[in-house]
Structure 1
Amino acid sequence: MSTSRGAPGSVLAVDAGNSKTDVAVIGADGRVLGTGRGGGFQPPLVGVQVAVDTLADAVTTALEQAGADCVDHVSACLANADLPVEEEELAQAVQARGWGRSTEVRNDTFAILRAGVDEPRGVAVVCGAGINCVGMLPDGRTARFPAIGKISGDWGGGSGLAEEALWFAARAEDGRGAPTQLARTLPAHFGLASMYALIEALHLGRIPAVRQHEVAPLVFTVSAAGDPVARSLVHRLADEVVAMASVALGRLGLLTEEAPVLLGGGVLAARHPELDDRIAVLLAQRAPKAVVRVVAAPPVLGAALLGLDHVAAPAQAHRTLRAHYA
């Protein structure tokens, strides 16, 4: 079956993260008619138009598989669409490509949330390179944070853990800070003998800065061995997750009723026991009726479900789509 040009109820779903993009064309009945994969989506680095260019190959592949020139509606959940004004700018740029009759752009955290719930109701916290949280209700109300770094009050994710671990390890080695096994584990991971050597290698580019993300898993390993400094970082991340989730639940009036809190992104999906346990304990105190789940479904499913919501697809279409990604 193929989709005719802009067939009523057809959806182009886009989930674009910092490292990769997934695209799917969905028929009005919920069947996946075509898919595509592309590179990372980083408008802050390359600009909006160039970033949207990076989506084009994957979109073209998916449309060709579906036998379509365009769809009824484009549902794009995009990394770095952190503010409503950015979502609007990106929506205009995507709409100008002519991929669909209408376009809606959301931050990619909404895809995680929608993928994990049967209706658009609940809160999602994502810890990948950074940290973000969104919430939504079926009536369209949302709760969100700017999530653009320290200037908007954010801390966490793999990059936050890595930066803090390097900071504590450097100070432990030179005597400014408390002792921690991080001072030995971090340089050893990169085949170096000291934090000084690691700092020099990172500063001079002998170790690419992108490899700092390898530090985050080491924090959990060292924490599990009983290191108090590493453990304080794990606990701090749990505190941040719970703070975001409980505030978002409160904004949506969901603190007093059972509501899902979905966890996603590489750090949370790794299911570190110490992090999971502390999140559960703290959330039980601040939002005792919250139901915590880790989202395993691909985010493009969430983008597609949001698209089906937009075109008022029947419940069976949603079930058909979920079955495809099960």
Structure 2
Amino acid sequence: MTYYLGIDGGGTKTYALLTDDCGNVLGKGVGGNGNHQIDHALAAQSIRKAAEGALNEAGLRIHEISHTFFGLAGADREADYRILHPLVQDIGFTRNYSIDCDTMIGLRAGTNRPYGVALICGTGTNAAGRNPAGQHVQVGGFNYMYGDFGGGGSLNIEVFRSVIRSWDGREQTTLLTPLLLNFLGYDSVRDMFDDFQDHGKHVPVHAAKLLFEAAAEDDAVALEILNRQGVELGKSASAVIHKLGMEEDRFDVVLAGSLLTRGDRGWIRNMVEQTVAAVAPNAAIVTLATEPVVGALWSAMDADGHAVSQDVYDKMRVFRNFEHIKHQQDKRL
């Protein structure tokens, strides 16, 4: 029997999935932040924890895995790979492994074509693609200073500052105000403002989810922020498409990341569709319906020269079992 391991390391969580060559799930593992750019030591710990969880559940050791594929947030430049190769080798993966950015495993999980474009909007944002000739391009994936906008790690700030601006008269009234006060446990914006100022507090990443709650009630401030997120993601996709010369091709633009796959009701997606349609009318927008780690698993099979059969595609596309594991772990903490 041949075994494969896929690992998806994001800014808040890391997933590992281990199967045999028929796509039968044998082991799963979960860790925290897997982005070395955020915290190198924590990323190493999270990747190790997720990998060991999957291996232990399957009753296997690293040397028994035919190929392991790491799709990691923060795997953006050559300088990152000089850090990441020693990191995974220290865990014990010294042979038969590959590393790529997490955007590409999202693409692999979302389309049967060997090319296309992927947009990630989770803790951060990223855009990358591969054309029919096999050329690869990445746009963004760093932070606001380097041209990005949004993701949970920035939209949480948009929520907070919108509430402050509404409170001090620079912005219209918004439903984000009572939602944020309840979320953070304050009686008034003044109390929140003073406490954050006096104690140097940071806004939790998960405050970004309040945008969806407010948007569902047609809150103009929340809708404007989410629409801007869609426009910015569309611009990133358009840049990838232009760089790869894919304007006339038929391909999928795969939307991945929790803000796109779990919270959005079209507020972001609709703007992505409009922006992409203007530059690539034959492109189809597809929301990822399975865990991106499945794309890492299929990429491991690809790298090992093992063709992914239609049966394996059909069997694994419905796999969404990690939130249950994470919820059970959170209850034990």
Instruction: Give the drift of 1:119.
Output: 2.9
Give the aligned CA root-mean-square deviation in angstroms: 2.7
Question: Partner amino acid for 1:35?
Answer: K
Larger mean Cα displacement after TM superposition, 32-41 or 117-126: 32-41
Trace 1:98-177 onto structure 2 (pairs within 5 A): 98-99=92-93, 101-137=95-131, 139-175=133-169, 177=170
2:43 corresponds to 1:51: yes
Aligned equivalent of 2:293 = 300
Greater Cα offset, 14-23 or 254-263: 14-23
User: What TM-score, normalized to structure 2?
Assistant: 0.83
Instruction: Report if aligned partners of 2:71, 2:102 keep a CA contact under 8 Å in 1.
Output: yes
| Structure 2 counterpart SS, 1:75 | strand
Residue identity (%): 28
**Larger CA deviation: 286-295 vs 270-279:** 270-279
Partner of 1:93 in structure 2? 87
Q: 1:198 aligns with which of 192, 199, 222?
A: 192
The 3 A distance-change label for structure 1 pair 325 and 273 is: closer
**Higher deviation after alignment, 128-137 or 27-36:** 27-36
Task: Tell me, in whole angstroms, the C-alpha distance in 1 between the residues paired with 2:141 and 2:31.
Answer: 24
Identify if the C-alpha distance between structure 1 residues 227 and 59 changes in structure 2 by more than 3 Å, giving closer, same or farther: closer
| 1:154-176: CA deviation from partner (whole Å, max 9, x where unpaired) | 1111232221232232122223x
- What's the CA shift for 1:152? 1.1
Aligned to 1:252: 244
TM-superposed CA distance for 1:325, in Å, is 4.6
Equivalences for 1:171-320 in 2 at 5 Å?
171-175=165-169, 177-181=170-174, 182-204=176-198, 209=202, 211-214=204-207, 216-269=208-261, 270-316=263-309, 319-320=311-312
TM-score scaled by structure 1? 0.84
Q: Please report how far the alpha carbon of residue 183 of structure 1 lies from its aligned counterpart in structure 2 after TM superposition.
A: 4.2
Deviation at 1:69, TM superposition (A): 4.0
| In 2, Cα distance between equivalents of 1:47 and 1:211 | 20
- The structure-2 alpha-carbon separation of the partners of 1:138 and 1:52, relative to structure 1 and needing over 3 Å to count, comes to farther
Distance in 2 (alpha carbons) for counterparts of 1:67 and 1:185: 46
Q: Deviations over 1:158-198 (max 9, x none)?
A: 232221232232122223x1323144543244443432222
SS of 1:167's equivalent in the other structure is helix
State the Cα distance separating 1:138 from its structure 2 match: 5.5
The answer for unaligned runs of 5 or more in structure 1 is 4-9
Matched, 1:36 2:12: no
Question: What letter is aligned with 2:254?
Answer: L
1:6 maps to none
Structure 2 spans left out of the alignment, 5+ residues: 319-333
Aligned equivalents of 1:23 and 1:226: distance in 2? Answer: 38
Alignment partner of 2:267: what SS? helix
Length, aligned pairs only? 314
Could you list the per-position Cα deviations for residues 213-267 of structure 1 after superposition, in whole angstroms to 9, with x for gaps in the alignment? 22x2333343454444333212211111110111112222222122101111111
